[in-house]
């Protein structure tokens, strides 16, 4: 079975802190994705990566950056957390582009 893990289920940070969210998949998938999910807005794509060291902006990249140094790991970075980044963050991976995506359990981030 494909397993996508995220470093934390719950995280509380202060405004201005640098935040790292880590995602690891164990199925040698090429593509990895970071989404955020907010009530009334649904799932929105922040960034995705289709290869090591490659990244593409999604629909809402502002305030975020990503890093993919190894194929299995995709990190989402909030350089200076703000209260409007309080959200559920979900990572996903797929073998190739339009293939089935496998989701991690999510990290509920609260920025105070």
* Interface ranges with other proteins (CB under 8 A): 31, 33, 40-45, 48, 50, 56, 58-59, 88, 90, 92, 94, 96-103, 105-106, 108
Please choose, from the candidates 80, 91, 110, 82, the residue with its C-alpha nearest in 3D space to the C-alpha of residue 22.
91
C-beta of 17 vs 56, nearer to other proteins: 56
C-beta of 42 vs 84, nearer to other proteins: 42
**Nearest-approach distance from CB 80 to other proteins, in angstroms:** 26
Q: Report the sign of the C-alpha dihedral through residues 77, 10, 58, 3, in that order.
A: positive
If you search the block for the tokens 């593509």, which residue do you land on?
Answer: 31
């Amino acid at each position: 079975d494909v397993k996508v893990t995220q470093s934390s289920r719950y995280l509380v940070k202060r405004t201005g802190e640098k935040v790292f969210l880590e995602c690891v998949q164990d199925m040698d998938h090429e593509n990895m994705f970071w989404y955020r999910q907010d009530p009334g807005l649904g799932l929105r794509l922040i960034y995705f990566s289709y290869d090591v060291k490659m990244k593409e902006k999604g629909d809402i990249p502002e305030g975020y950056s990503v890093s993919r140094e190894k194929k299995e790991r995709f990190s989402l970075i909030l350089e200076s957390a703000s209260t409007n980044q309080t959200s559920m963050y979900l990572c996903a991976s797929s073998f190739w582009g339009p293939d089935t995506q496998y989701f991690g359990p999510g990290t509920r981030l609260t920025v105070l």
